[in-house]
Amino acid sequence: EADIYQTPRYLVIGTGKKITLECSQTMGHDKMYWYQQDPGMELHLIHYSYGVNSTEKGDLSSESTVSRIRTEHFPLTLESARPSHTSQYLCASSDTNNYGYTFGSGTRLTVV
Amino acid sequence: DAKTTQPTSMDCAEGRAANLPCNHSTISGNEYVYWYRQIHSQGPQYIIHGLKNNETNEMASLIITEDRKSSTLILPHATLRDTAVYYCIVRALGGSEKLVFGKGTKLTVNP
């Protein structure tokens, strides 16, 4: 039973469209993260949040933006999708002590 | 956070133990060793973590050398469903907020 949910699972969209990838967790975790992963490649952190109203950029520069208005919700937005944004986006959360990250199933985005 | 070194790939026969090594020679005293795995582009799954004592849970065992410069993840009876990329990560508890994934070890369990 998943405690962190990502929607949609797959998304194919045209260039220039605005998209929002949803991520919600039911564990009450303060910390949430977005990773980007191309097929067969490493995961790269693009955004993270310590809690409500806290957002930080990760190691990999990304044109996406995030918000954290509620503890359980950490959506990622692309204002104008481009083919270079085609990738898998993985959301994760962790508790205060960072004992372990829980990941969602990911959103596989294709921009045509 | 300390850097880790893992073999690129390993093979294991189904039903046998899979022993995945990890070197972390620059580990600091307050850094834990974490193991995650990623099955075919699904989200990574937490397996186990430890500081200096050996740890065991329902998924695996973690053996950490006395000098803490290396560790081994043991899957006691590997199944085909254990085929995945396994990541060894070293980080301080409550320290750096970022979990940095390297290339990991691609474990293939063969029938």
**pLDDT by residue (tens digit) across B54-100?**
999 999 999 999 999 999 999 999 999 999 999 999 887 765 557 88
Name which residue leads in pLDDT, A94 or A18: A18
Q: What is the pLDDT of residues B21-34, one digit of tens each?
A: 999 999 988 889 99
Query: What is the band of A61 on the pLDDT scale with cuts at 50, 70, 90?
Result: confident
Contact B44 A50 (CB under 8 A): no
Across the interface, whether the CB atoms of B41 and A99 are under 8 A apart is answered no
Please report, for residues A48, A80, A84, B43, the alpha-carbon distance to residue A8 in angstroms, rounded to integers and kept in the order given.
Answer: 20, 18, 19, 14
Burial B28-58 (b: 16+ CB within 10 A, else e): eeebbbbbbbbeeeebbbbbbbbeeeebeee
> Average per-residue pLDDT in chain A?
92
CA distance A90 to chain B (A): 6
Residue in chain B lying closest to A95 (CA): B94
Chain A positions in Cβ-Cβ contact with residue B34 (cut-off 8 Å): 100
pLDDT of residue A60: 84
CA B69 to chain A, closest CA, distance in angstroms equals: 21
Can you say how many angstroms the Cα of residue A100 is from the centroid of all Cα atoms in its chain? Answer: 17
Tokens of B104: 């990991």
Gap between the Cα atoms of A74 and B88, Å rounded: 27
| pLDDT(A99) > 80 | no
